[in-house]
Amino acid sequence: MMKKLFLIPFILLTFHSFGQTDKAIIQLNDSTKLSLERERFEVKNKTINFQNNIPIGINKTLLIGTDGEIPEYKLTKAILNIGNTRIDLQIDDMYNPWFGEKFNRKLIKLEGKKNNLKLKVIFSDGAGTYLAEWLINDNVSIRTILSSDENVVKENFYNQSTAPNSGSSQITGK
């Protein structure tokens, strides 16, 4: 009887966490935050493209964010809030955005002026690392970079005036 009672909370916790969405809210400065959400990646109804038994694409689009494995997570939402303004960011084809419970704030840079911003974020599950960059102009965004190329990551994130470990955002007035 005791064994059966022990299994009930375990089963309930398992079902509760199976459908759970992981969220990260990163405060970039007093008025700006980045909200990210990820969910478990479901292979169902998807075509995984392989080359030499290594997954290289999903539904004929390049697979970014893994190190030769089928993804565990998919980024399902990225929202930049500046004051009361909400800016939805393009997140298609972005997998395994972070590992663990927290997103590393040092992997985010926000640069530019209020009406002309550039958001750069390095995503990684510890193995597959990639860079996404969005241009934000008058509260409209477009993703301009999505790359796992090491040189692209270095050139566009680390070779900038803001050191990656400074943890600061740069937004200047108009």
Other CB atoms within 10 Å distance of the CB of residue 154: 11
pLDDT of residue 102 exceeding 50: yes
Q: How high is the mean pLDDT of the chain?
A: 82
Three-state DSSP state, 8: helix
Question: pLDDT (tens digit, 9 = 90+) per residue, 27-61?
Answer: 999 999 999 999 999 999 999 999 999 999 999 99
Instruction: Tell me what the mean pLDDT of segment 162-172 comes to.
Output: 41
- Range of weakest confidence among 35-44, 48-57, 86-95, 154-163: 154-163
Please say whether the beta carbons of 90 and 38 come within 8 A: no
Which one-letter amino acid corresponds to residue 109? K
In this prediction, residue 15 has a pLDDT band, given cuts at 50, 70 and 90, of very low
